[in-house]
Amino acid sequence: MINNSRKRKHRGRIVTTFAMGSQALYDFVDDNPSVAFLDVEYTNDTSVIRQNKQVMSINSALQVDLSGQVCADSLGTKIYSGVGGQMDFVRGASLSEGGRSVIALPATACGGKVSRISSMLAPGSGVVTTRAHVHYIVTEYGVANLKARSLTERATALIAIAAPQFRQQLAREAYDQWGLKVST
């Protein structure tokens, strides 16, 4: 059960900057004293985020390459969204005592025809979260812990959570493009 009782900052309260959703959501937040709408410059400040212990940040991505670079705003030069607060929360969680950061994404796109874990990001894609900041990547096929891992260990872990139909191709590309020997 999540009740925010262990927080140091804003104990017992849900803190957010905005809410968008169903009428049930709007009814829940309306005049609810357990919900605090605060300025984004405060909520996304890593020095504020890190004050709570065991912060778990969960963000999404459009594509992740075999080194762990995360693209969350574009595919190539086509922009889909802004970078938002992803790095703020990745960094804040990593600085939090016992904190963890997760990038969660489906393993495929286009009805299973495209792997969202790729050997390299599409040309022109922006790196929202660098490989140096990534901790966990999660797909429906599992979890890859990339923290303090070598490029070979990263590629191996990411291929293991890619959709099965792309794993051999990714292993070949890891060798051809990165010089990494990875088994599937």
pLDDT at position 69, please? 98
The model's pLDDT over 93-152, given as tens digits with 9 standing for 90+, comes to 999 999 999 999 999 999 999 999 999 999 999 999 999 999 999 999 999 999 999 999
Domain 54-178, CATH among 1.10.3720.10, 1.10.287.3510, 3.40.1080.20, 3.40.50.150: 3.40.1080.20
The model's pLDDT over 150-177, given as tens digits with 9 standing for 90+, comes to 999 999 999 999 999 999 999 999 999 9
The model's pLDDT over 135-156, given as tens digits with 9 standing for 90+, comes to 999 999 999 999 999 999 999 9
12, amino acid identity: G
pLDDT at position 53, please? 95
Dist CA 175 CA 130 (whole Å): 21
Partners of 102 in the beta sheet?
A: 58, 136
pLDDT at position 159, please? 98
Outline which parts of the chain fall under CATH 3.40.1080.20.
54-178
In this prediction, residues 36-58 reach a mean pLDDT of 96
Orientation of helix 151-160 relative to helix 167-178, angle to 10° = 160
